[in-house]
Amino acid sequence: MWHYRLPALRAGAIQLEKEEKTMKSMAQTVLGPVDGDLLGFTLPHEHLVLDGSSIFSEPAAATDRYMAHAPLGWESLSWLRYHPYENLENVRMLDEAEAIGELTLFRNAGGGTLVDVTVRGIGRDPESLARISRKTGVNIVMGTGLYTEASLTAAYRNMSVDEMAAMFVEELRQGVGSSGIRAGIIGEIACNWPAAPTELKAVQAAALAQQETGVSISLHPGRNRQAPFHLVEVLRGAGADLSRVIFCHTDARLRTPEDR
Ligand SMILES: [Zn+2]
């Protein structure tokens, strides 16, 4: 009987191949799936609204202290370049109307899609991203993941790799909480150097969630030349598909100030 079953099995395999191909050629946006051919010009790593209060730190030096709460402007710009996390307003983008205004400029200049890799720890806001996408007509792909250990509460730090992976998979397949808004990329998973224990768990969990869903990973390595290479090995060890991994901010990791 096997020769009768063989064509059926082959047909099944072909069908599966087709489905996989269809899934891989679609992008999951906050307003639903979009054909990859329709994404247009795409920004792969942005933050539209974000609250980085968790990574804000008061300046240590007495003469810098007043800058922590100074308004953003030309006068503070050069100081901010060297102390980006020591001014509260510089680590927060809470103005949805401003994000809509800026994204409208992007659309009017020919932009089609933006990947917002804001994750848990820095105030990811699925409902806001959906509103921004509706108002601007720009496709927005949202991330699932965890920011640096310092940005996370104990509840996240205490999660196991499997629990983190399950959370990522749920957000990719069902959506975030009860919003029904689904993530379309894993990341940015953010690490320091050396990577903290929670950060290493999140990287391994990203690999597991990728194996289950086939979704790409966006990684933010710590500020050290070795950091991206270390994370490649962590991902490889956890079974990630390295052809679907994006390393962000590598300009500030692989090049030192001297050879920029
Ligand atoms: Zn980022």
Pick the CATH number of 19-49+103-259 from 3.40.50.300, 3.20.20.140, 3.40.50.1220, 3.40.50.11740: 3.20.20.140
d(CA 111, ligand 1 centre) in Å: 19
- At residue 183, the pLDDT reads 98
Per-residue pLDDT of the chain (260 residues; tens, 9 = 90+): 333 333 344 444 445 455 554 556 899 999 999 999 999 999 999 999 999 999 999 988 888 898 999 899 998 899 999 999 999 999 999 999 999 999 999 999 999 999 999 999 999 999 999 999 999 999 999 999 999 999 999 999 999 999 999 999 999 999 999 999 999 999 999 999 999 999 999 999 999 999 999 999 999 999 888 999 999 999 999 999 999 999 998 877 677 666 65
For 146, phi and psi rounded to 5 degrees? Answer: -130, 135
d(CA 32, ligand 1 centre) in Å: 23
Per-domain residue ranges of the chain: 19-49+103-259, 51-94
d(CA 229, ligand 1 centre) in Å: 19
Query: What single string gives the DSSP state of each residue in 196-237?
Result: PHHHHHHHHHHHHHHHHH---EEEE--SSTTHHHHHHHHHHH
Contacts of 60 (CB under 8 A, 6+ apart): none
d(CA 33, ligand 1 centre) in Å: 23
d(CA 47, ligand 1 centre) in Å: 6
d(CA 44, ligand 1 centre) in Å: 10
d(CA 2, ligand 1 centre) in Å: 54
